[in-house]
Amino acid sequence: MATMKAAIFVEKNRIVLDDKPIPEIGPLDALVRITTTTICGTDVHILRGEYPVAKGLTIGHEPVGVIERLGSQVRGFVEGQRVIAGAITPSGQSYACLCGCASQDGPDTRHGFRATGGWKFGNIIDGCQAEYVRVPDALANLCPIPDGLSDEQVLMCPDIMSTGFSGAERGEVSIGDTVAVFALGPIGLCAVAGARLKGATTIIGVDTVAERMSVARRLGASHVVNFKDGDVVAQIMALTDGRGVDVAIEALGTQGTFESALRVLRPGGRLSSLGVYSSDLRIPLDAFAAGLGDYSIVTTLCPGGKERMRRLMAVVASGGVDLSPLVTHRFKLDDIEAAYELFGHQRDGVMKVAITP
């Protein structure tokens, strides 16, 4: 049986590069040869045992590659074509998909919904930190890469661009809004760019890393707040003349950032949560106005599917946003364990890493 190299979850705090069989595909699938992929913060949650997956699973959910083989029922694509697939790979046929909740896809369930069911790569099926990946439901998920765009230009589309933009979309950012983005990691930076594209005129980024704050300004932040300089809520309220923000986007997943995001909202404001939480959340009574402040709290799992990918790559191709500078480090697949060590410990100014064969 032909084999490939793949990054495999072995146990808590141990992901290793090892050999696995090249995936078999069914009639609705495609086999994609990976040309570039990356490591996500969610992969680090898996590595640390904070998010459970099966031992022996190939990790990774951000594929850029070339079609190696197509299932017998897949039409409209050709072998050798450059494609991406979203981190979320919905079936396209469940009740969840057909009512616009594709990330919560549950085609095998009685009512067609499953929380986080659209997230398959590196969660319930083998992912793409490997030489090859099986893309399920290829007609719903493969998207051709426009001519002239490099792998690194589209590398953010499968996950962090889609996730960050969805923070602004789910928060219903409107023209003239004031928006605060808590945590300027890659997803938070994409949320800044998404808020600008949605029409926000004042965008406040919150972080402490100078490089990230600088990138946030380039992507559209009008102000950056360093939480080491004092009470971040007080700083934001001062910047808004005591009004508060229309939308607060939480992009880290901690009690502290969630609570601060809630406290800076104006009455009737919207908290858009993108973080992956590892413990229960508490909603402070005063910040929530005892439930009478007309606040909205919404959550998002990265939207996927080929139409979402097409739209995101159209933004890149038009020059609407350039996220390739987020790639700060590059590794070969053979060195992916070193890439995890760097990314997991956030050393050397790392934002995103590009992994190539």
Amino acid at residue number 19 = D
Distances (CA, A) of 111 to 96, 103, 104, 108, 119: 9, 15, 12, 9, 18
CA–CA distance, 350 with 353 (Å, rounded to integer): 7
Q: Is 173 helix (H, G, I), strand (E, B) or coil?
A: coil
Distances (CA, A) of 2 to 128, 132, 350: 17, 11, 35
Query: Domain limits of the chain?
Result: 3-159+302-355, 163-299
CB contact at 8 A, 335 and 355: no
Distances (CA, A) of 244 to 194, 270, 271: 20, 11, 12
| Positions of the chain with pLDDT lower than 50, given as ranges | none
Using CB atoms within 10 A of its CB, is residue 292 exposed (0-12), middle (13-18) or buried (19+)?
exposed
The torsion defined by the Cα of 52, 300, 164 and 239, in degrees rounded to 10, comes to -120
pLDDT digit string, tens, across residues 141-187: 999 999 999 999 999 999 999 999 999 999 999 999 999 999 999 99
What is the fold of 3-159+302-355? Quinone Oxidoreductase; Chain A, domain 1 (3.90.180)
Angle between helices 210-219 and 186-198 (to 10 degrees): 20
- DSSP result, 112-164: SB-TTTT--BTTTB--SSBSEEEESSHHHHEEEPPTT--HHHHTTIIIIIHHH
CA–CA distance, 137 with 124 (Å, rounded to integer): 15
Q: What is the pLDDT, as a whole number, of residue 1?
A: 76
Tokens of 132: 């090859």
Q: What is the pLDDT, as a whole number, of residue 331?
A: 98
- Find out if CATH 3.40.50.300 is the number for domain 163-299: no
pLDDT digit string, tens, across residues 242-264: 999 999 999 999 999 999 999 99
Residue 26 half-sphere exposure toward CB, CA atoms < 13 A:
6
- DSSP result, 189-244: HHHHHHHHHHT-SEEEEEES-HHHHHHHHHHT-SEEEEGGGS-HHHHHHHHTTT--
Supply the pTM of this predicted model.
Answer: 0.95
- Number of CB atoms found within 10 A of residue 198's CB: 18
Location of structure tokens 């083998």: 126
CA–CA distance, 62 with 302 (Å, rounded to integer): 12
Sorted by sequence, the CB contacts under 8 Å of residue 231 that are 6+ apart come out as none
Strand 82-85 versus strand 142-144 pairing type: antiparallel
Q: What is the pLDDT, as a whole number, of residue 166?
A: 98
